[in-house]
């Protein structure tokens, strides 16, 4: 199979239309059998629930070409389950976990020419999305939905160039609410974060650090990634909160850190204790591990001394282990890597 003529090494994180996607529609109380289609357009009612009441959720995952030439996806069962949970919370009829995994396989197989070659650092990003297509006028769930998975080859989420570590600001906005939808991948969470991210970029920051919406004293996450921190004695700490997205990358990293012999803690992390950490990183499918050098808390700078200029040693070890597993250089824990071809 011939690869597409794409400048793989210089891909950013964006939409690059590929040839095929998977679509299944929900109507008359059931999901249809679903199929691969070339149609990248969606035509829906002007009164569709997704347009007015944001009844939609999505996922993000990647397919990788491994060192020995296979194509794999990383822990798709966890994305399938998280999307199931998101759908339930949004009153969207959930898509069965086994069917989600099968659809992922179909989309990757149908777009093999777009899976970036090994060694380019790029991957094929998969974007499962579910949304209300049926008309609703009163505030209630729609009767019709679409489940779709499309693919796009991607490079790094954060642009290279300039300083190699990110600079964040503590946001005055919240991305979630107490007892809200922060823990699921609802489109509405991202709508909430658009104004704050535009503001942060205008002010010269790479991202926002959101605090817990109840007390605004504890660290939550950014608009698109979880946090981890490293203490001076190499303990890997990640915030625990009911309103952050349970990142699959973060859960994987914490388990790898433990296997590597680091002490790990998932606990509440106070803004006031940040200066005690020596490394900070963002983690997620798109972000992979992106080092954070500084956090600006209303003019007061908090510096992470070992992740000022790129990843510190603990972050680097975790990064090498995670990407080693994803690109087939290291054998991962049982069931983490699903081989497509
Ligand atoms: N937090 C938010 C708000 C996200 O959008 C994402 C991306 O999916 C993550 C964290 C990271 O999650 P994962 O590692 O499952 O991609
Ligand atoms: C992902 O990492 O897959 C996400 O969905 C994050 C998004 C902000 C791009």
Q: Give the residue numbers annotated as catalytic, written as ranges.
A: 185
Residue 28 lies in a domain: yes
Same domain, 97 and 172: no
For 38-170, where are the alpha helices, taking DSSP H only? 49-53, 76-89, 97-110
> Which ligand does the CA of 76 lie closest to?
1
Residue 307 lies in a domain: yes
- Predicted local distance difference test score (pLDDT) of residue 1: 81
Q: What angle do CA 9, 11, 13 make, to 5 degrees?
A: 140
CA 137 to centroid of ligand 1, rounded, Å: 32
Which of 73, 158, 247 is the best mutation target for the ligand 1 pocket, counting ligand atoms within 8 Å of the beta carbon and taking the most?
A: 247
Residue 1 lies in a domain: no
Residue 334 lies in a domain: no
Tens of pLDDT, residue by residue over 295-311, are: 999 999 999 999 999 99
> How many structural domains does the chain have?
2
CA 281 to centroid of ligand 1, rounded, Å: 13
CB atoms near residue 252 (< 10 Å): 22
Tens of pLDDT, residue by residue over 93-138, are: 999 999 999 999 999 999 999 999 999 999 999 999 999 999 999 9
| pLDDT higher than threshold 90 for residue 171 | yes
> Which ligand does the CA of 123 lie closest to?
2
Last residue of a domain, one of 92, 125, 154: 154
Ligand 1 lining (C-beta closer than 6 Å): 60, 221, 224-226, 245, 247-250, 284-285
Assess contact for 109 and 5: CB atoms under 8 A.
no
Last residue of a domain, one of 123, 154, 185: 154
CA 298 to centroid of ligand 2, rounded, Å: 26
**Ligand 1: nearest atom to the Cα of 285:** 16
| pLDDT higher than threshold 80 for residue 161 | no
Q: Which domain holds residue 65?
A: 8-154
Alpha-carbon distances, residue 93 vs 137, 205, 312 (angstroms): 19, 39, 43
Same domain, 139 and 193: no
């Amino acid at each position: 199979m011939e690869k597409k003529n794409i400048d793989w090494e210089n891909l950013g994180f964006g939409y690059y239309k590929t040839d095929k996607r998977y679509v299944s529609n929900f109507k008359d109380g059931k999901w249809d059998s679903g199929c691969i289609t070339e149609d990248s357009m969606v035509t829906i009612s002007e009164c569709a629930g997704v347009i007015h009441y944001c009844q939609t959720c999505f996922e993000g995952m990647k397919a990788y070409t491994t060192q020995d030439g296979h194509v794999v996806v990383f822990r798709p069962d966890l994305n399938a389950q998280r999307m199931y949970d998101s759908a339930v919370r949004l009153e969207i009829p959930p898509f069965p976990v086994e069917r989600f995994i099968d659809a992922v396989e179909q989309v990757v197989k149908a777009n093999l020419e777009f899976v970036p070659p090994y060694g380019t650092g790029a991957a094929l990003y998969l974007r499962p999305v579910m949304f209300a297509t049926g008309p609703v006028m009163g505030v209630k769930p729609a009767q019709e939905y679409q489940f779709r998975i499309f693919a796009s080859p991607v490079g790094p989420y954060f642009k290279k160039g300039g300083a190699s570590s990110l600079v964040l600001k503590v946001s005055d906005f919240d991305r979630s609410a107490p007892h809200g939808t922060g823990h699921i991948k609802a489109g509405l969470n991202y709508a909430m974060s658009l104004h704050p991210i535009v503001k942060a970029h205008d002010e010269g920051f790479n991202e926002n650090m959101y605090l817990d919406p109840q007390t605004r004293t504890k660290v939550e996450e950014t608009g698109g990634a979880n946090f981890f921190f490293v203490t001076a004695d190499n303990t890997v700490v990640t915030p625990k909160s009911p309103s952050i997205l349970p990142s699959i990358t973060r859960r994987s990293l914490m388990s790898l850190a433990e296997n590597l012999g680091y002490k790990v803690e998932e606990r509440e992390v106070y803004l006031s204790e940040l200066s005690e950490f020596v490394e900070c990183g963002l983690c997620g499918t798109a972000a992979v591990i992106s080092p954070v050098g500084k956090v600006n808390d209303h003019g007061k700078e908090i510096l992470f001394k070992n992740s000022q200029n790129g990843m510190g040693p603990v972050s680097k070890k975790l990064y090498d282990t995670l990407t080693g597993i994803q690109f087939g250089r290291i054998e991962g824990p049982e069931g983490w890597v699903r081989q497509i071809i």
